Chains A and B, each alone.
Chain A
Amino acid sequence: MKRARAHLFAYCPRAEFEAGVRSMAPFTVAIGVWGLVTGVAMVNAGMTMPGALAVTLFVYAGSAQLATLPLLAAGTPLPVVFATALLVNLRFVIFSAASRSYFMKLPWQQRLVAGYLNGDLGFALFSRRFADDPERGTPEQYGYFYGGAVTNWAAWQVSSYLGILVGGMFPSEWGFELAASLALVAVLIPMANKFPAVAGIVVTGVLSVVTADMPMKLGLLVSVLAGGAVAVSIDVWRSRA
């Protein structure tokens, strides 16, 4: 176990790890609520306990988990499920491109683990702290990154497991799928900070409601493509004008 850990994590000084933990600590309340809601929602959607635990550990992506949950519950064809998760997760591709210069010195196993841990909050805190640092890939940077990311991971895992354990106790009339939708809207609202994004949301939202009776969730694909095209077009048009 000790050897495997030395292999998967880069060496880092303890003081910087602790600084990372402290910077993430205030967010653990919100992470905990979000994890709890996700755990309860998974069990309420009919997932078995081992299934829900496996999703929490391996998939570890709150918004993609909640977004695919109604699709999984309806037995939607898996390519549609994977495409939806991919679309929701595309923001992480941008994060990895933006922060790769800090990690490229590491062996591939450590980069793979660092990527798995590079969620929304960890990325935001890390970028804010080291954006102006001329040196890239120092042990201090790894320490701060791991401290924040591992704290985020632990808060998510513990709260999700708790939600999975108690999930069966909440009757379905309480509307826990609404809590899941609300958690997704909390991710969505900060992204709607510019006009192209707002236009994309309106077009996608209206189309997805109107096309909800299309078979195999085709309406989902159609509305994302149309809304995305509108948002990108407006962005391109505005940057030229």
Chain B
Amino acid sequence: MNGVHDWLYMTLAIAGLTVVTFATRSSFFMLPQSVQLPASWERALKYAPVCALTAIVAPTVFTREHQPFISWDNHQMWALLAASAVFAKWRNMTAMICVGMVVFTALRWWA
């Protein structure tokens, strides 16, 4: 499939993603008050976003051509590790993205 270049695919994608935004953000605002969130569900709901974000980020950084790519030559990997260390220490997203991109660019030019 053509992905983002396909008009129909993108229109349906945007429509569906809009529904997902409203269905999650407004979920309990729209449900009758008698419907409560069961405590056991709260656990699953808490960990799902963590795992979903990991499953997206990890392959984009740690694979190449769909194969694991853990190597000195993986510039994105070193940039991500440096940036994560910066964020873990200072909790500053702007600094994190800057450091990550500087490390990546430096390795791309000189390594």
Contacts and interface: CB of A to CB of B under 8 A. Distances in A.
B86 to A, nearest CB: 10
A232 B20 contact: no
A227 B97 contact: no
Counting chain A CB atoms within 10 Å of each CB, the highest count among B21, B57, B83 belongs to: B57
A78 B9 CA distance: 8
Interface string B30-54: 1001001100001111111111111
B13 A208 contact: no
A184 B12 CA distance: 24
A106 to B, nearest CB: 8
B66 A212 contact: yes
Interface in A34-54: 34, 37, 45-48, 51, 54
Interface residues of B, number: 71
Interface of A: 29-30, 33-34, 37, 45-48, 51, 54-55, 58-61, 63-68, 70, 72-76, 78, 81-82, 84-97, 100, 103-104, 108, 111-112, 114-116, 118-119, 173-175, 177-179, 181-192, 196-197, 200-201, 204-210, 212-213, 219-220, 223-224, 227-228, 231-232, 235-236
A63 B45 contact: no
Contacts of B20: 59, 61, 64, 82, 85-86, 89
